[in-house]
């Protein structure tokens, strides 16, 4: 038997053998946002060693989770197969689960464009969504977030995002929102928009501050009733 096999004939075990290795889930998370080059993935996962990234991409390809696609001009991108895309609801649920106990960031923790994009998808409340068009800045990341007729669209703006994946959104956003990691409190319902602004977790640098009410209603992760004991 393969030395490092779990040795069980079971669906969960097979899943974990496909995507349970270190970094694999985070690679899938980033690819759920869209196809990515090797270099994009490396930038989106700053602490991954390049040999591990190589190995994981090969293993995920062999497992049928992703494939390499040569680009017509030059280079290549990695993209999820339909089987890999079927992980989306699982990754979203895992993101909601992990959100509950995130606490404050550790020193050196970063927020990447892809992780913030997935966090927005994770917390998106299609039922209660209000129409919305804003620019969201967290650290170095800048996103254009548009909600229209119950659908969420996120585009990554120039600095440190693969450009041109979706064309530049048209028109001006209603507001520009600058936030820190404390935006978690707003999404988690720990803080009201007014409190989040008062405590400097979020600032509206252009536009009407009341957009935060719609934001908080649209992006929300309800706390679990019991987190202990």
Partner DNA sequence: CCGGATCCGAATCGATACTG
Partner DNA sequence: CAGTATCGATTCGGATCCGG
Pick from 73, 74, 77: nearest CA to 37: 77
Among 35, 95, 150, 207, binds a second copy (CB under 8 A): 95
Rounded to an integer, what is the distance from CA 171 to the centroid of its chain? Answer: 24
Yes or no: say if 186 and 216 are a contact pair by the CB < 8 Å rule: yes
Pick from 104, 126, 123: nearest CA to 223: 123
**CA 34, CA 16: separation in Å to the nearest integer?**
23
**CA 75, CA 88: separation in Å to the nearest integer?**
26
User: In the window 8-37, what residues touch DNA (CB under 7 A)?
Assistant: 21-23, 37
125 binds, among DNA, a second copy, none (CB under 5 to 8 A by kind): none
Structure token digits, residue 21: 């290795």
Residue closer to DNA (CB basis): 50 or 149: 50
SS3 200: coil
* Total interface residues for DNA by CB under 7 A: 22
User: In the window 52-71, what residues touch a second copy (CB under 8 A)?
Assistant: 63-64, 67
Does position 156 interact with a second copy (CB under 8 A)? The reply is no
39 binds, among DNA, a second copy, none (CB under 5 to 8 A by kind): DNA
Binding residues for a second copy, rule: CB under 8 A, are 1-2, 5-16, 18, 20, 22-23, 25-26, 29, 45-47, 63-64, 67, 81-83, 86-87, 89-91, 93-102, 105-112, 115-116, 118-119, 122, 181, 224-229
């Amino acid at each position: 038997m393969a030395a490092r096999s779990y040795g069980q004939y079971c669906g969960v075990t097979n899943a974990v053998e496909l995507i349970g290795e270190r970094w694999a889930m985070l690679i899938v998370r980033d690819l759920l946002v869209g196809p990515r080059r090797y270099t994009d993935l490396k930038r989106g996962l700053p602490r991954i060693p390049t040999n591990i990234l190589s190995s994981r991409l090969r293993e995920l390809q062999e497992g049928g989770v992703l494939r390499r696609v040569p680009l017509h001009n030059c280079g290549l991108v990695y993209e999820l197969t339909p089987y890999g895309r079927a992980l989306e609801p699982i990754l979203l649920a895992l993101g909601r689960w992990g959100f509950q106990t995130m606490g404050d960031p550790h020193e050196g923790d970063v927020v990447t464009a892809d992780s913030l994009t997935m966090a927005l998808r994770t917390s998106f409340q299609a039922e209660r969504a209000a129409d919305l068009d804003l620019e969201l800045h967290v650290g170095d990341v800048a996103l254009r977030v548009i909600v229209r007729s119950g659908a969420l669209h996120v585009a990554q703006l120039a600095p440190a995002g693969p450009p041109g994946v979706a064309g530049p959104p048209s028109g001006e956003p209603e507001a520009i929102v600058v936030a820190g990691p404390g935006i978690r409190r707003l999404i988690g319902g720990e803080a009201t928009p007014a409190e989040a602004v008062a405590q400097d977790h979020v600032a509206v640098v252009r536009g009407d501050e009341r957009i935060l009410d719609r934001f908080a209603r649209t992006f929300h992760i309800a706390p679990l009733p019991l987190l202990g004991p």
